[in-house]
Amino acid sequence: MKTEIYTTTTCPYCAMTKELLDKENISYIEHDVSVDEEARHKMVQKSGQLGVPVTMINSELIIGFDRKSLKEAVEKAKKAA
């Protein structure tokens, strides 16, 4: 399973998304797009989004802190693994 999350340090919904992934024991790569300009470009390219958090679990893209979609994507990825 490959999980990436695009965040800013001041975004509460990013913190909640990470908390959810932590609870599910999912390890992830975090990109702080407030400082990492390259990651910011990549996020916009991949998601069309200029808003955080953006979470990618395998090929699935979850925009915002959407508890239901995050959980579903985690379950799906766990099954596939």
Decide: is 67 part of the binding site for another protein (CB under 8 A).
yes
Indicate the residue among 58 and 64 with the shorter CB distance to another protein: 64
Q: How far apart are CA 40 and CA 10, in angstroms?
A: 16
- In the bound complex, what is the minimum distance in angstroms from residue 44's beta carbon to another protein? 7
Decide: is 27 part of the binding site for another protein (CB under 8 A).
no
Decide: is 40 part of the binding site for another protein (CB under 8 A).
yes
Assign 3-state DSSP to the chain and report helix, strand, coil percentages, each to 5. 45, 20, 35
Decide: is 44 part of the binding site for another protein (CB under 8 A).
yes
Maximum Cα–Cα distance across the chain: 34
Tokens 């300009």, residue? 37
Q: How far apart are CA 23 and CA 49, in angstroms?
A: 26
Indicate the residue among 3 and 7 with the shorter CB distance to another protein: 7
Contacts with another protein, residue ranges (CB under 8 A)? 8-16, 33-34, 40, 44, 48-52, 63-65, 67
